[in-house]
């Protein structure tokens, strides 16, 4: 019996209603770990290139990892992995909450879904038993209604329901998936893939404990975290008190709060979106994830000027910025309402905000008119218009049908120069962080196989001259010894980015919450290794774990290469090369020549060729030689 994982991966073919189980050996689990690394394995092995992401052939993989469900802070997360309908590249989205741990308790490490059900269905997985259940009566319902009906049908108020809303059914390319209504697998359109398969929900409940080699050590470290995190980890304390909304004012004061579609980084009225304001006005609770005392999620309730339902939680920093400041909106209740609608209909708040802000800028520049918006005065700052757009996008009504395709496709449709307002990388809308202010973010956005993604590496501020030594001390075991200037992208920054990227990729592979671990939060790298060993009995090391992270990135890259992505896709939108217009960072921009040099250097450091293709040598070193064969089959290099 393995420790940490079940050794069982559930297979469901919705086309022919076949259910089976894979039982990989320890070598597989130790090589691929879980999360999107495990998902990428299935995609590379079983998906032909150029498959339409919304066709039955695409795979949809729900997965935790070898350590998910262990009773310690941060081991709650899970990922959904698929070919993304938004980018056409590899897609993954992660969420906290309770789905990952519950799947483990139900006896499975992952679920691989393929095919398409003839009529809407949902999956019920209870203590190892799997049923495909009819869901025609749920189609058209919100996430909240669906969850309530499924819980009633299965007579289990505590069953964890992972569900899509109408946006997923309508194949909005950035539709998301929710678990327990508050934890979103937000990015890259995993909800649309689910909708394309006629899969409305997956309901999971289990009672099996995760077997661990050394439970006492896990419980000891978990207790130490709970007792000390507020006093010893400044960022974790802030997350508990104000949630990620704690970042709004710092971002604004430093000129990094995306405002009016990333034209600038400061907004008058930003204090209205701040966590403190939320706490003093509409906060009614804090929520969190399995086994974590941080409880960084917000629960808000309001009556006026918009009623806000607390069942759908409250907005994260990303939501406050993308549906707030980036749309020029400083009305907290309006943003909370938009957050509720996005969670209710199953829309990614980041891409939704990005798409609306893009349309607002097109409107203000005369590229689209009131006729195109069906009478909506789509100007920055118009909160009501922002909310109307959320409804239109969900229903694909009028201009909403175009915006539901994401900004890249919408800009092609609008023409007339709209492309310069489409802020995306590889088709994925920017999250709420400003590359023009942070060098590490320039590299993250340009180079991530996922497109614009703020969670592929730690950001610069904690590792700049003058930052508290708490942070810099934690990364010394990686060989990172000196702080670096915030905006630089020189060789030292590229090196640090590569190392941080491997760390974050490792955390993603193990579906661990980075809000609980180094480089910035409570647990150290040593404790990470100690916890993985206590759970799995692998006698592992930081070196082996970082290789796991590196392997995932190489697999992602190989998947994209096979799909036709090239080094030309590793780039930023034109706006990033133009100076920020106002505020403390006025005049700052990314330098194109410096970026070209940094990308070339990164490829060399990563073991990729000049086109950004992982070399045979690097793939072999990562125990991925089968991928070299796979790429050779598709003409990427000789066998």
> Which positions touch ligand SF4 (CB under 6 A)?
73-74, 76, 96, 239, 288-289, 292, 294-296, 513, 515-516
Three-class SS string for 423-437? CEECCEECCCCCHHH
Token look-up 């802070």 returns 73
H-state helical runs in 243-310? 247-253, 275-281
The DSSP 8-state label assigned to residue 477 in this structure reads: G
Q: How far is the CB of 239 from ligand SF4 (least distance, A)?
A: 6
Nearest residue (CB) to ligand SF4, 38 versus 296 = 296
Q: How far is the CB of 222 from ligand SF4 (least distance, A)?
A: 12
Q: How far is the CB of 174 from ligand SF4 (least distance, A)?
A: 21
Q: Let me know: does 322 contact 431? Beta carbons within 8 Å.
A: yes
CA distances in angstroms from 530 to 284, 501, 533, listed in the order given:
37, 21, 5
Q: Rounded to an integer, what distance in angstroms lies between the CA atom of residue 393 and that of residue 352?
A: 8
Residues 6+ apart with CB under 8 A from 129: none
Nearest residue (CB) to ligand SF4, 193 versus 513 = 513
Q: How far is the CB of 526 from ligand SF4 (least distance, A)?
A: 20
Nearest residue (CB) to ligand SF4, 59 versus 210 = 210
Q: How far is the CB of 226 from ligand SF4 (least distance, A)?
A: 11
The DSSP 8-state label assigned to residue 109 in this structure reads: S
Nearest residue (CB) to ligand SF4, 154 versus 219 = 219
Residues 6+ apart with CB under 8 A from 509: 32, 33, 34, 35, 36, 37, 38, 65, 548, 549, 551, 552
Q: How far is the CB of 528 from ligand SF4 (least distance, A)?
A: 14
Q: How far is the CB of 308 from ligand SF4 (least distance, A)?
A: 21
Q: Rounded to an integer, what distance in angstroms lies between the CA atom of residue 392 and that of residue 375?
A: 12
Token look-up 């919450």 returns 513
Nearest residue (CB) to ligand SF4, 240 versus 472 = 240
Q: How far is the CB of 343 from ligand SF4 (least distance, A)?
A: 15
Q: Let me know: does 385 contact 376? Beta carbons within 8 Å.
A: yes
The tokens for 160 are 């964890």
Terminal Cα distance for the chain, rounded: 38
The tokens for 172 are 């909005």
Nearest residue (CB) to ligand SF4, 76 versus 180 = 76
The tokens for 183 are 């934890």
Q: How far is the CB of 229 from ligand SF4 (least distance, A)?
A: 9
The DSSP 8-state label assigned to residue 320 in this structure reads: I
Q: How far is the CB of 212 from ligand SF4 (least distance, A)?
A: 18
Q: How far is the CB of 240 from ligand SF4 (least distance, A)?
A: 8
The tokens for 270 are 């930003």
Question: Which phi and psi (to 5°) does residue 210 adopt?
Answer: -70, 125
Q: Rounded to an integer, what distance in angstroms lies between the CA atom of residue 527 and that of residue 231?
A: 18
Question: In which region does residue 220 sit, left (phi positive, over 0), alpha (psi from -120 to 50) or beta (all else)?
Answer: alpha
Instruction: Please report the sign of the dihedral spanned by the C-alpha atoms of residue 444, residue 447, residue 450, residue 452.
Output: positive
Q: Let me know: does 31 contact 624? Beta carbons within 8 Å.
A: no
Q: How far is the CB of 230 from ligand SF4 (least distance, A)?
A: 12
Q: How far is the CB of 243 from ligand SF4 (least distance, A)?
A: 8
Sheet holding 60-63, edge to edge: 18-22, 9-13, 110-114, 60-63, 78-83, 90-95
Question: Which phi and psi (to 5°) does residue 337 adopt?
Answer: -65, -45
Nearest residue (CB) to ligand SF4, 515 versus 602 = 515
Nearest residue (CB) to ligand SF4, 215 versus 295 = 295
Nearest residue (CB) to ligand SF4, 122 versus 523 = 523
Cα 605 to chain centroid, rounded: 25
Nearest to 346 by CA among 184, 193, 197: 184
Three-class SS string for 360-406? HHHHHCCCCCCCCCCCCCCCCCCHHHHHHHHHHHHHCCCHHHHHCCC
Nearest residue (CB) to ligand SF4, 238 versus 549 = 238
Nearest residue (CB) to ligand SF4, 226 versus 567 = 226
Nearest residue (CB) to ligand SF4, 338 versus 507 = 507
Q: How far is the CB of 455 from ligand SF4 (least distance, A)?
A: 12
Q: How far is the CB of 366 from ligand SF4 (least distance, A)?
A: 42
Nearest residue (CB) to ligand SF4, 289 versus 529 = 289
Q: What angle do CA 136, 140, 141 make, to 5 degrees?
A: 100
Nearest residue (CB) to ligand SF4, 288 versus 614 = 288
Nearest residue (CB) to ligand SF4, 101 versus 272 = 101
* 110: three-class secondary structure by DSSP: strand
Q: How far is the CB of 158 from ligand SF4 (least distance, A)?
A: 18
Question: Which phi and psi (to 5°) does residue 547 adopt?
Answer: -65, -35
Question: Which phi and psi (to 5°) does residue 269 adopt?
Answer: 90, 5
Nearest residue (CB) to ligand SF4, 73 versus 614 = 73
């Amino acid at each position: 019996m393995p420790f940490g994982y079940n050794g069982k991966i559930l297979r469901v073919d919705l086309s022919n209603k076949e259910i089976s189980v894979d039982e990989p050996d320890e070598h597989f689990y130790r090589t691929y770990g879980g999360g999107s690394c495990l998902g990428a394995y299935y995609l590379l092995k079983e998906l032909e290139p150029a498959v339409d992401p919304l066709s039955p052939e695409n795979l949809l993989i729900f997965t935790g990892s070898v350590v998910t469900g262990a009773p310690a802070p941060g081991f709650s997360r899970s990922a959904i992995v698929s070919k993304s309908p938004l980018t056409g590249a590899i897609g993954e989205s992660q969420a906290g909450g309770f789905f990952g741990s519950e799947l483990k308790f139900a006896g499975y490490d992952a679920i691989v879904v393929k095919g398409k059900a003839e009529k809407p269905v949902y999956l019920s997985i209870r203590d190892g038993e799997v049923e495909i259940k009819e869901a025609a009566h749920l189609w058209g319902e919100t996430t909240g209604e669906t969850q309530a009906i499924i819980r009633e049908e299965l007579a289990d108020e505590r069953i964890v329901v992972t569900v899509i809303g109408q946006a997923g059914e309508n194949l909005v390319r950035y539709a998301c998936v929710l678990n327990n209504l508050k934890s979103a697998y937000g990015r890259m359109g995993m909800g649309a893939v689910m909708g394309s398969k006629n899969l409305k929900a997956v309901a999971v409940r289990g009672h099996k404990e995760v077997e661990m080699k050394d439970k006492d050590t896990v419980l000891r470290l978990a207790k130490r975290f709970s007792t000390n995190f507020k006093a010893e980890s400044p960022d974790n304390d802030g997350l508990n008190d104000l949630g990620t909304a704690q970042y709004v004012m710092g971002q604004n004061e430093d000129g990094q709060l995306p405002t009016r579609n990333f034209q600038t980084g400061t907004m008058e009225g930003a204090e209205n979106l701040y966590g403190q304001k939320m706490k003093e006005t509409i906060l009614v609770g804090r929520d969190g994830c399995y086994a974590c005392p941080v409880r960084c999620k917000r629960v808000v309730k309001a009556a006026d000027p918009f009623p806000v339902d607390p069942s759908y939680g409250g907005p994260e920093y990303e939501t406050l910025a993308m549906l707030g400041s980036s749309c020029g909106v400083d009305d907290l209740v309006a943003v909370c309402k938009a957050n509720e609608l996005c969670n209710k209909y199953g829309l990614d708040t980041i891409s939704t905000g990005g798409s609306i802000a893009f349309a607002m800028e097109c409107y203000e520049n005369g590229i689209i008119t009131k006729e195109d918006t069906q009478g909506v005065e789509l100007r920055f700052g118009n909160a009501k218009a922002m909310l109307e757009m959320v409804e239109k996008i969900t229903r694909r009504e009028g201009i909403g049908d175009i915006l539901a395709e994401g900004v890249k496709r919408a800009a092609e449709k609008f023409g007339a120069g709209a492309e310069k307002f489409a802020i995306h990388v590889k088709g994925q809308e920017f999250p709420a962080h400003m590359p023009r202010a942070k060098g590490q973010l320039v590299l993250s956005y340009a180079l991530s196989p996922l497109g614009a993604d703020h969670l592929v590496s730690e950001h610069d501020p904690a590792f700049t001259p003058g930052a508290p030594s708490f942070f810099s001390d934690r990364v010394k075991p990686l060989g990172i010894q000196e702080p670096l200037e915030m905006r630089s992208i020189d060789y030292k920054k590229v090196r640090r980015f590569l190392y941080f990227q491997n760390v974050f990729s490792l955390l993603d592979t193990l579906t661990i919450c980075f809000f609980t671990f180094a480089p910035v939060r409570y647990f150290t790298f040593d404790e990470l290794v100690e916890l993985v060993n206590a759970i799995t009995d692998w006698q592992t090391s930081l070196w082996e774990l970082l290789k796991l992270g590196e392997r995932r990135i190489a697999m992602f890259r190989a998947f994209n290469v096979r799909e036709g992505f090239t080094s030309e896709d590793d780039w930023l939108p034109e706006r990033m090369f133009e100076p920020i217009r106002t505020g403390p960072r006025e005049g700052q921009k990314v330098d194109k020549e410096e970026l070209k040099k940094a990308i070339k250097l990164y490829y060399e450091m990563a073991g990729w060729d000049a086109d950004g293709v992982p070399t045979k040598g690097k793939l072999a070193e990562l125990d991925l030689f089968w991928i070299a064969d796979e790429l050779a089959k598709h003409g990427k290099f000789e066998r």
